[in-house]
Amino acid sequence: MLVSLGMHGQTLKSPNGNFVLEFSINEKGSPLYALSYKGKPVIQPSRLGLELAGGSKTEFNAEIRKQADPKTSLYDGFSLASVKHSAFDETWEPVWGETKTIRNHYNEMEVSLRQNSTERSLTLRFRLFDDGLGFRYEFPAQKNLSYFVLREELTEFALTGDHTAYWIPGDYDTQEYDYTISRLSEIRKLTEAAKTDNLSQTSFSPTGVQTALQLKTQDGLYINIHEAALLNYGCMHLELDDKNFVFRSWITPDANGTRGHLQAPSATPWRTVIVSDDARDIPASHITLNLNEPSKIKDPSWIKPMKYVGVWWEMITGKSEWSYTYDLPAVQIGKTDYTRVKPHGRHGATTENVKRYIDFAARHGFDGVLVEGWNIGWEDWFGNSKDFVFDFVTPYPDFDLEGIYRYAKSKGVKMIMHHETSSSIRNYERHLDKAYQLMNKYEYPAVKSGYVGDIIPRGENHYSQWINNHYQYALEKAAEYKIMVNAHEAVRPTGLSRTYPNLIGNESARGTEYQAFGGSKPNHVSVLPFTRLIGGPMDYTPGIFEMDISKMNPNNKSHVNATLANQLALYVTLSSPLQMAADLIENYGRFPDAFQFIKDVALDWEKSIYLEAEPGEYITVARKAKNSDQWFVGNTGGNTPFTSDISFDFLDAGKRYEAIIYSDAKDAHYKDNPQAYEIRKEIVTSGSRLKQVSVPGGGYAISLKPVK
């Protein structure tokens, strides 16, 4: 079924026929594409192409303007050289994830273009899956295009109207915003209103948004725009022409203002458009993973999902400190003698406190313990643009690295390393081998890295080609040392965990920490599965049971905008092979019956079935644990009450299951009654149904086990 998009060119259909992609070249020789779904236009004819930086090699800076130089155009003057169609269908097994197997099934069209005036070639590769589109630019090896610099990528996504968007502002420095839900036409005014708050001025655009961007049309189509396999390239934001509702790619520049230094043969990341008339298909899509290369880690047996606790929330809430002293160690790292300074007595990472966490982990079956603030340098790490900041190997005097290693080992618990880089990249790279070697020596299987603050080298952005190459370098080097990585503040994921499954986590969005920094919107967690999670799992760090932060730190009046049952549900709705029980361990002791769910819940899945979904309002998912007959169900709601109505028809027919249902009590509310929950047991079968109310900021969690 071909809708007329006014294009008379090449077409490609998805395997199920729901999608039609059209490609053509206009009178100026510019490539165009359009996409329809079930006969409805999704992307109207949209330009494709790239603009190169002209001038001499030394002139590439933000000021450089387009010369009348045909060589800067990779967007017009093209004619069609050849078109090749092919089909692909394989099923592969991820090392960990939401499903045990993933089908990668698409029809492909490879369009080769020739720019006669410059004798250059450009290839466009389109892959049409049953749930959407991926396409990228490829630069074949050729005489007239070998080393080149991008001024901008000119990919357009011309939408059909003033859709609802679930967005965070475009920014080169942070991704940790609450989402705004608005019409596209409202983005400009809402961004300008927020500008004074926290938007970084250097990267400000009043109509810029980050991906993964979720959209909903007025007639109920869900459209998601993101990217896959972001390698050796700047991260793609989108900038809106809000008169015509056309988004254009807006690549994060390097410090010199260019968007990437490339060499042929090479390719850009994939641009993805996932589409459905059923919201449940968006989080269930595997397009992002499928567009990445198969695993490069031949023996992944050392990559194992982990559930962990940590010396962390106490510093985030301000109950204790990362630093050891208030005295300023005046000299550079490695030369400060911490035995001579006066400790302030509020240090979190003390041997004694860490042992308490190890004992707790061992007692309750957790795999690991994360400790932050264990290494010297926390006194002046932030805001001082220190090049030589941390060394990642020297512990504070009250953290007995060796003793803790032996203690944890004796209890069967693994330690999780923490490397806050302070965004001093050269410093991290100069210490990286030694830091990873120390981890190997003390058998730390995983590192949480962090990139808080402005990047050094100064002037670099958080998501440019240059720094994306650093994140990738740290990940690949970690793989050499058999280390798993959970990178905070690094560029949001784009499915690279298929290729490097040691990337077991990223933060790269607003995580639980903001609940102690003033609070997040109660519906935030029901937006994330449609946005941030499209690229990969998030180290969201759920499991907060004490919502009144002033109980931990009288000076912190922040409130966790979630119910306790909602916090349990997150282990299922925000699937991740790395899950923290983030609260202080003493708070779990107060609610042992609810804590049981966190102990029981699985981390790795055979199947995932999205039962109910509407971005920002509710999401309900059932997941079957890998190599087990146990199921877990999670629901989170939004800002208003939600009645979930689900069938258990996913269960094995003929079997009886004990369901333990952890739900909001009737009078629960995220604001004034968050700890009101109920736990009940029921026997259910594949014929059972459940109606369950989740209060504002609420949710429910269920564990299901077959019984005789």
Query: What is the binding site for Ca ion (CB under 5 A)?
Result: 488, 507
Q: Which of 488, 498, 524, 559 binds ligand NOJ (CB under 6 A)?
A: 488
Residue 514 CB, shortest distance to Ca ion, in Å, is 8
- The residue whose two tokens read 């992609």 is 21
CB atoms within 10 A of CB 87: 9
- Based on the residue annotation, tell me whether 513 is a catalytic residue of this protein: yes
Binding-residue pattern over the window 145 to 174 for ligand NOJ, x denoting contact by CB under 6 A: ------------------------------
**CA separation for the pair 315, 308 (Å, rounded):** 17
Q: Is 22 in the site for ligand NOJ (CB under 6 A)?
A: no
Q: Which two tokens stand for residue 262?
A: 């490339």
Total of chain residues touching ligand NOJ, rule CB under 6 A: 8
Asked whether 670 and 515 are in contact (CB, 8 A), the reply is no
Judging by beta carbons within 10 Å of its beta carbon (0-12, 13-18, 19+), is residue 501 exposed, middle or buried?
A: buried
Per rule CB under 6 A, is residue 583 in the interface with ligand NOJ?
Answer: no
Rounded distance between C-alpha atoms, residue 514 and residue 519, angstroms: 5
Q: Which residues ranging from 260 to 319 are in contact with ligand NOJ (CB under 6 A)?
A: 312
Question: Which structure tokens are listed for 175?
Answer: 């991704």
Q: Which of 152, 372, 617, 664 binds ligand NOJ (CB under 6 A)?
A: 372
Q: Provide, rounded to whole angstroms, the least separation between the CB of residue 230 and Ca ion.
A: 19
Q: Which is nearer to ligand NOJ, 362 or 452 (CB)?
A: 452
Contact letters (x/-) for ligand NOJ, 449-478, by CB under 6 A?
-x-x--------------------------
The 411-450 contact track toward ligand NOJ, x by CB under 6 A, reads ---------x-----------------------------x
Q: State yes or no: residue 507 binds ligand NOJ (CB under 6 A).
A: yes
Least Å distance between CB 390 and ligand NOJ?
A: 10
Query: Distance (Å, rounded) from C-alpha 451 to C-alpha 457?
Result: 13
Write down the least CB distance from residue 506 to Ca ion, Å: 10
Task: State the nearest-atom distance from the C-beta of 526 to Ca ion, in Å.
Answer: 20
513 binds ligand NOJ (CB under 6 A): yes
- When the beta carbons of 539 and 664 are compared against ligand NOJ, the nearer one is 539
The answer to whether residue 321 forms part of the interface with ligand NOJ (CB under 6 A) is no
Distance between CA 121 and CA 102 in Å, rounded?
34
What are the Cα distances from residue 572, in Å, to 17, 166, 192? 33, 22, 36
Cβ atoms within 10 Å, residue 672: 10
Least CB distance to ligand NOJ at residue 578 (A): 13
Short-list 12, 48, 20, CA closest to 36: 20
Give the C-alpha separation, 401 to 629, whole Å: 40
Distance CA 325, CA 482 (A): 34
Tell which residue, 537, 539, 545, 589, has the closest CA to residue 567.
545
Residue 307 vs 488, nearer CB to Ca ion? 488
* Chosen from Ca ion, ligand NOJ, none, partner binding at 171 (C-beta under 5 to 8 Å by type): none
Choose between 513 and 606: whose C-beta lies nearer to Ca ion. Answer: 513
**What is the three-class DSSP state of 469?**
helix
156, 507, 513, 606: the catalytic one is 513
With respect to Ca ion, which residue has the nearer C-beta, 47 or 488? Answer: 488
- Do 315 and 373 contact (CB within 8 A), yes or no? yes
For residues 33 and 312, which CB has a smaller minimum distance to Ca ion in the complex? 312
Specify the residue, 131 or 507, whose C-beta has the smaller distance to Ca ion. Answer: 507
Name the amino acid, one letter, at 265: P
Interaction partner, residue 372 (ligand NOJ, Ca ion, none; CB < 5-8 Å by kind) = ligand NOJ
CB of 625 closer than 8 Å to CB of 683: no
Tokens representing 529? 């599965």
Amino acid at 472: Q
Indicate which residues carry an active-site annotation: 513
Q: Can you give the binding site for ligand NOJ, defined by CB under 6 A? A: 312, 372, 420, 450, 452, 488, 507, 513
